[in-house]
Chains A and B, each alone.
Chain A
Amino acid sequence: MKILVCLKQVPHQDARLDVNGDGTWIKEDGIKFEINSYDTYALEEALRIKDAGEAEVVVASIGPDRVTQALRTALGMGADRAVHVNDAACQGSDALGIAKTLAAIAKEESPDLILMGLMSDDGNASAVPPMVAELVGMPSATAVVATERSEGNIRVERELEGGAVEVVDVPTPCLLAVQSGLNQVRYASLKGIMAAKKKPLDVKTAADLGVADAVGTAGAKVKIEKIYQPLRGEGAEILSGSTDEIVSSLMNKIKELGLL
C-alpha cells in the first residue's frame, strides 16, 4: 500500500505577522515556519497505517528552500520518501495551481490513499483537497474525525456543523482531508531524525510535472488584491478595574445585549 501525504509549511503559530510592502501577503523573512497543524494529523494517520503493516508513506510539499525542513521533519517522524516542488515559478499560485501540482505528483505516484489536512492554518480555504481528488479522479471525504479500514473501503466519520457526525463509506483509492484532533501526533525521535538523512528527497519543478502553465501568479485565476490588519473602529468601550470587576461588567454587557 502506498500513501501520499501532502504537507504545507505555514508560519509558526507564535510568529508575529506583518503585512509585506505591497500589501499582498505577509513578510516572510525572519519568521519561523512549521508544518500546517491539520497536515500533521494527516501524516500521523499515514504513519499509523504504516506501523500497523505494509505501507510506504510519501510526503509532498510545494514551496521554497525552507520547506526542506518540513519534509525532513516528516521523514524524521517516519515517512519513507519526500517530493519537494521547489520552483520560484510556483510563487503566487492559487488553490487550483497548487491542486494541479499535487495532482501531477499523485499521478506519478499512484497512491492507494491520499491524506491531507482539512485546511491550511494561513490560507483557511479548504479548497485544495477536493480539487486534487477531482483532478486525479478519486472519491474524497473532508473533515474526517475517525477512520476504519476494510478491504477496498474506508469508513470515515465526518464532523458536521453543530457537533453532528456523518458516517460515509469511501471506496479506495481515495483522498481524505482530516480534521485536527484525529489522533495524537508523534514527535520525531532523535534516531528518526538521523535516519531521515538517508531517505530520498526528490526536488522537482513545475515543468518536470507538466504544470508550468497552471502555477504562479501567471497561472492563477484567483489573485490576492490586498491583505491588511483590520483598522481599530471608533466607539470601543474600554473596561477598567480589577479582573473580577472587568469580568462581571463584561458579563452584564453580554446579558444586556441578549447574547447569553
Chain B
Amino acid sequence: MDFSPDSELESIATEARQLAGQFDDQYWSEKDRAHEFPWEYYNAFAAGGWIGIIIPEKYGGVGLGTLHAGTLLNAVSSCGGAMSAASALHISMFGMGPVIHHGSERLKEQYLPPTATGELHVSFGVTEDDAGTDTSRIRTTAVRDGNRWIVNGKKIWNTKAQQAQKVLLLARTTPREECAKPTDGLTLFLADLDKRYVDIREIPKLGRNAVNSNELFIEGLPVTDDDVVGDVGRGFRCLIDGINPERIMVSAEAVGVGRRAIEVAVRYARERVVFNRPIGQNQAIAHPLADSHTELDAADLLWKYAAWAYDNGDRHGGAANAAKIRSAEACFTACDRALQTFGGMGYAVEMQVERYWREARLARLAPISQEMATNYIAEHVLGLPRSY
C-alpha cells in the first residue's frame, strides 16, 4: 500500500483549482440567482481540454481514468461553485462512459471528439417519474419502424437538457413481461434531443440552480440503429459503465463541497469574536468542524478507492455505493455545521454557505438515494435478501 502523493493527480488538482478559482463565490451566487448556465466557466474548462479527461486519446481526449476525473471534479467543487461547478462538466465524463465502453466505432468517432472539446453536450435520460428507482418499469418505449425506431415517453430530471444536443436515452424495446429478467429488453440510445419531438421543461428546484434539470416529453422521436449503444435489449448492462463512475464522481464532488464549507467555517470561527473570544475557541463550535473534517477524510479515501477499483476493472458496485453513501452524509453534515457556525449570518445569501448547504442536499438524493445505495450494500455486499 502506498499513500505517497501522486504527482499527476496533484497537478490535476492544483491546476484545476487555479482555473476554477477565477470564478468566485460571487460569480456562482449570481448564476444561482439568475438560473443561468455558467458558460464562461464551462468554456474556460473546455478550452483547457479538461472535458475530455476520460475520453480515449484516439478520440481526442486525454485518456485518463475515473480517479483523475474525480480529482478534477473534487477540485472544482471545492472552489465555491459547489455541485453546479461539477455538474456543468461531469455528464460529459460519466455520461459518455457507456459509449466509450460499449459504443460502436462509428458512434465513438462521431461523438467522442466533440464531447472532448466541449462542443457537444449530452444529457442523461434514465429516470422516469412513474418508475422511480425501479428502472425496469420505465415506460418510455422505442418501437421498430422499418429501419428506424420511434421513441415515445417521458423522462424526468434530465440535467443540462437545455444545453444538450444529445441525450443518452434508456427505452424499453421488448415488453417487460416477455423478458427473462425485468432489466432485459431495455435499450440505450444516443438520441438527438430534437425539439421537434421533445418538449423540454425546466424543473424549479431547491439548489444547484446554475445547472438546469428538466422534464422531457418525447413524442415520435426517430432514432436509428446507429444510435444504439451496445446491443439492443442490453441497455441496462451498458448503463453500469455510466452509473458507477457517476456515483464515484459525485462522491468526489461531495467531498469537495464539504471541504469548502469547513474551510469557510473555520475561517469565520477564528475571526468572529463573541464574549471576547473567537467562537472557534468554544468546543461546541470546534468539535463539529473537526469531526466533519475527519468524516470528509474518510469519504475522500473511500471514493478514491472506488475509483481505483473501477479503473482497474472491478465492475462490482460495492465501493461506488459505499463512497456515495459516506460522502453524501459527510458533505451535508459539513455544510450544515458550517451554516451553524455562521449563526444568523449563515442564513444570509451573502455568506454563501446557504448555497453550499442547498447544493449539498442533492448528494443524498441523486444520482441514487441513500436508501437505494444502502439496499445495494445489504443485498450485493452483505448477501441479505432483497427487500423490494
Please tell me if the beta carbons of B11 and A76 are within 8 angstroms of each other in the complex. Answer: yes
Please tell me if the beta carbons of A72 and B62 are within 8 angstroms of each other in the complex. Answer: no
Tell me if B19 counts as interface (CB < 8 A to partner A): yes
Please tell me if the beta carbons of B11 and A73 are within 8 angstroms of each other in the complex. Answer: yes
Question: Chain A: which residue is nearest B21 at the CB level?
Answer: A14
B48 partner, pick from A16, A34, A73, A189, beta carbons under 8 A: A189
Give complex CA distance A238, B12 in Å: 45
Please tell me if the beta carbons of B11 and A72 are within 8 angstroms of each other in the complex. Answer: yes
Query: How many of chain A's residues have a CB under 8 angstroms from any CB in B?
Result: 16
By secondary structure, the A interface counts as: helix
Instruction: For the complex formed, measure the closest distance between the CB of A196 and the CB atoms of chain B, giving whole angstroms.
Output: 7
Contacts A16-B267, A197-B7 given: A190-B48 contact, CB under 8 Å? Answer: yes
Contacts A187-B48, A190-B62, A191-B62 given: A76-B15 contact, CB under 8 Å? Answer: yes
Please tell me if the beta carbons of B7 and A190 are within 8 angstroms of each other in the complex. Answer: no
Q: List residues of chain B with CB within 8 A of the CB of A69.
A: 10-11, 14
Tell me if A188 counts as interface (CB < 8 A to partner B): yes
Residue-wise, chain A 79-115 has the 8 Å CB interface mask toward B (1 for contact) of 0000000000000000000000000000000000000
Tell me if B8 counts as interface (CB < 8 A to partner A): yes
Interface residues of B in 115-153 (CB under 8 A from A): none
Instruction: For the complex formed, measure the closest distance between the CB of A195 and the CB atoms of chain B, giving whole angstroms.
Output: 10
Please tell me if the beta carbons of B18 and A72 are within 8 angstroms of each other in the complex. Answer: no
B18 partner, pick from A16, A187, A196, A197, beta carbons under 8 A: A187
Give complex CA distance A34, B50 in Å: 21
Residue-wise, chain A 154-198 has the 8 Å CB interface mask toward B (1 for contact) of 000000000000000000000000000000000111110110110
Q: List residues of chain B with CB within 8 A of the CB of A68.
A: 7
Query: How many of chain B's residues have a CB under 8 angstroms from any CB in A?
Result: 20
- Counting chain B CB atoms within 10 Å of each CB, the highest count among A72, A187, A191 belongs to A187
Question: Chain B: which residue is nearest A193 at the CB level?
Answer: B11
Question: Chain B: which residue is nearest A14 at the CB level?
Answer: B21
Contacts A69-B14, A191-B62 given: A197-B8 contact, CB under 8 Å? Answer: yes
Question: Inter-chain contact count A-B, CB under 8 Å?
Answer: 48
Q: List residues of chain A with CB within 8 A of the CB of B12.
A: 190, 193
Q: List residues of chain B with CB within 8 A of the CB of A76.
A: 11, 15
Q: List residues of chain B with CB within 8 A of the CB of A73.
A: 11, 14-15, 18
Q: List residues of chain A with CB within 8 A of the CB of B53.
A: 190
Give complex CA distance A32, B50 in Å: 23
Tell me if B56 counts as interface (CB < 8 A to partner A): no
Give complex CA distance A28, B362 in Å: 36
Q: List residues of chain A with CB within 8 A of the CB of B48.
A: 187-190
Interface residues of B in 1-46 (CB under 8 A from A): 7-8, 10-12, 14-15, 18-19, 44
Question: Chain B: which residue is nearest A186 at the CB level?
Answer: B48
Tell me if B288 counts as interface (CB < 8 A to partner A): no
Give complex CA distance A194, B18 in Å: 16
Q: List 25 A-B contacts (CB under 8 A).
A: A16-B267, A16-B270, A34-B18, A69-B10, A69-B14, A76-B11, A76-B15, A187-B18, A187-B19, A187-B48, A188-B11, A188-B15, A188-B18, A188-B48, A189-B47, A190-B15, A190-B48, A190-B50, A190-B52, A191-B62, A193-B8, A193-B11, A193-B15, A196-B11, A197-B7
With A189-B47, A190-B48 known, 17 other A-B pairs at CB within 8 A are A16-B270, A69-B14, A73-B11, A73-B15, A187-B15, A187-B18, A187-B19, A188-B18, A189-B48, A190-B50, A190-B52, A190-B53, A190-B62, A193-B8, A194-B62, A197-B7, A197-B8
Interface residues of B (CB under 8 A from A): 7-8, 10-12, 14-15, 18-19, 44, 47-50, 52-53, 62, 64, 267, 270
